[in-house]
Structure formats: structure tokens, C-alpha cells
């Protein structure tokens, strides 16, 4: 049987002498693995449409086990993103987190739309050389991914007492998955969270990816958000 997928290539691993195993996030079946026969040969016809961070229509023939890729047509190549090293590095780091958070063959159309939107916006920002936007979009992707994978962090109410978080001296707790107020602060591993960071995450969680392109955030608040992401992801995957 041959199946058609809309997929985003997340990564690839060498397989034997001439083949590759591809990791693909698909609209139809979530994260899947499929073999590209002969894709490491110099004149491989399929290889271009199966480059990492390419959105393609992918045809896979499957009898049992992992399928073989029989055809691929690139629909979005994101050339500006791929030619900008710092954007590429951020995107691959984000994809690495996505791979850890998401289990195989669990379909979630929201994640596909999110990832596709992220790559489109990163491609545009890379063309403009907008590094600040790169960091906002990447943080946005991870906060939304965490939300969609069942790890929505609380940035409205304190995870200790459930009171509304008001501007001031607040903290972030990775084990509790959200912001703690000064009264609930225990001093055991919480991270200081700035008012600007709290505001940024609230906006990210309430808006679509496409709306985040206009967001302006001071760089120290972005750094604060990146620290929170790394603590939360570390806590979840370890």
C-alpha cells in the first residue's frame, strides 16, 4: 500500500551504505520514521525534497514495519532559514526539544500547523536578519509545544496558592510547572521570573504563531524565558 503524507523533515540518520532513515512530522500520523533507499548516493533524486526542515508531500509504501519513501515533492524549502547559521542552529535546537517531547505516531494537527507556521516565520525573519524575532518565535514554539503536549505552564495563577500573579518578585518552579508568588516561594530551586517574561508567555499562550511576529520583547525578558524553557524541558525529559 502507498500512502501520501504532508510532512516536515525533522532529521535523518545514515542507514547502511547508501540509505537514510528519516524522521518526519506528518499532518496525518504525527511523528513517523521512514527509509529513503539510495538517498545517500550522489545523484539521489529524492534527497533534495527530504532535506531537514523542508515541508514536502511524501509518498510511503508500507507493508509491515517502517515504510519506504517512494516519492517526495518539496512544497516549502525555507531557503533563507537554511542559509542563516544562527537561525538554523535555533531551529535545530527547537526540533531537538520537539523530538524529546513527542511520542511516535501520535497525530496532532495543531503541532503540524504550529511547526509549519514557525518555519515560515523563521524563514521570513532570517531573510530580514531579525535575530530578536528569531528568539521570540523559537521561545513561542517551545511554550506552545509544551502546552500541546500536556505541559501547559501556569503564568496567570500561582501554582502554590492559586492567587492571581501580580507584577513584582515572582519565581518559576519547574517541578510545579508555573509561576509562584512571593508568599509561596520556597527557595528550593525556583528561578526568578521577570514581569516582562510573565507578560510575554501569557501573550504567546493566548495567540497563534502567526501573531507573534509583531511582538516586541526586551532582550533580558527573552533570556529569562529561554532559561525557564531549559529548566522546564530538563525537568520533563530527565
Interface residues with Zn ion (CB under 5 A) are 158, 160-161, 181, 184
Q: How far is the CB of 173 from Zn ion (least distance, A)?
A: 10
Q: How far is the CB of 62 from Zn ion (least distance, A)?
A: 51
Q: How far is the CB of 160 from Zn ion (least distance, A)?
A: 4
| Backbone CA torsion sign across 117, 208, 33, 92 | positive
List of long-range contacts for 101-105, beta carbons under 8 Å, 24+ apart:
101/145, 101/146, 101/149, 101/151, 101/233, 101/236, 101/237, 102/25, 102/30, 102/31, 102/145, 102/149, 103/30, 103/31, 104/30, 104/31, 104/32, 104/33, 105/29, 105/30, 105/31, 105/32
Measured distance CA(118)–CA(34) in Å, rounded = 23
Comparison of 169 and 234: residue with beta carbon closer to Zn ion: 169
Per 3-state DSSP, what percentage of the chain is helix, strand, and coil (rounded to 5)?
A: 40, 25, 35
Q: How far is the CB of 198 from Zn ion (least distance, A)?
A: 14
Comparison of 158 and 209: residue with beta carbon closer to Zn ion: 158
Contact 139, 219 (CB under 8 A): no
Comparison of 19 and 190: residue with beta carbon closer to Zn ion: 190
For the chain, the straight-line distance linking the first and the last C-alpha, in angstroms and rounded, comes to: 39
Q: How far is the CB of 187 from Zn ion (least distance, A)?
A: 14
Measured distance CA(191)–CA(235) in Å, rounded = 13
Comparison of 83 and 163: residue with beta carbon closer to Zn ion: 163
Comparison of 64 and 164: residue with beta carbon closer to Zn ion: 164
Comparison of 73 and 161: residue with beta carbon closer to Zn ion: 161
Q: How far is the CB of 132 from Zn ion (least distance, A)?
A: 32
Amino acid at each position: 500500500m502507498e500512502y501520501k503524507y504532508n510532512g516536515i523533515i525533522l532529521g535523518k540518520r545514515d542507514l547502511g551504505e547508501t540509505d537514510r532513515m528519516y524522521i518526519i512530522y506528518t499532518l496525518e500520523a504525527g511523528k513517523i520514521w521512514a527509509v529513503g533507499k539510495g538517498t545517500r548516493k550522489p545523484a539521489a533524486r529524492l534527497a533534495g525534497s527530504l532535506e531537514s526542515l523542508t515541508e514536502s508531500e511524501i509518498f510511503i509504501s508500507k507493508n509491515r514495519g517502517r515504510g519506504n519513501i517512494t516519492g517526495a515533492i518539496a512544497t516549502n524549502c525555507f531557503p533563507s532559514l537554511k542559509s542563516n547559521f544562527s537561525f538554523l542552529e535555533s531551529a535545530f535546537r527547537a526540533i531537538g526539544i520537539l523530538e524529546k517531547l513527542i511520542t511516535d505516531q501520535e497525530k496532532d494537527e495543531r503541532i503540524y500547523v504550529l511547526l509549519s507556521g514557525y518555519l515560515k516565520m523563521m524563514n521570513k525573519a532570517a531573510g530580514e536578519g531579525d535575530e530578536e524575532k528569531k528568539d521570540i518565535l523559537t521561545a513561542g514554539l517551545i511554550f506552545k509545544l509544551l502546552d500541546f503536549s500536556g505541559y501547559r505552564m501556569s503564568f496567570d495563577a500561582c501554582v502554590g496558592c492559586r492567587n492571581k500573579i501580580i507584577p513584582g518578585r515572582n519565581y518559576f518552579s519547574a517541578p510545579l510547572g508555573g509561576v509562584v508568588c512571593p508568599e509561596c516561594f520556597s527557595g528550593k530551586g525556583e528561578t526568578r521570573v521577570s514581569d516582562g517574561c510573565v507578560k510575554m508567555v501569557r501573550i504567546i499562550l493566548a495567540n497563534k504563531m502567526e501573531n507573534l511576529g509583531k511582538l516586541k520583547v526586551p532582550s533580558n525578558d527573552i533570556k529569562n524565558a529561554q532559561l525557564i524553557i531549559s529548566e522546564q524541558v530538563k525537568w520533563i525529559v530527565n
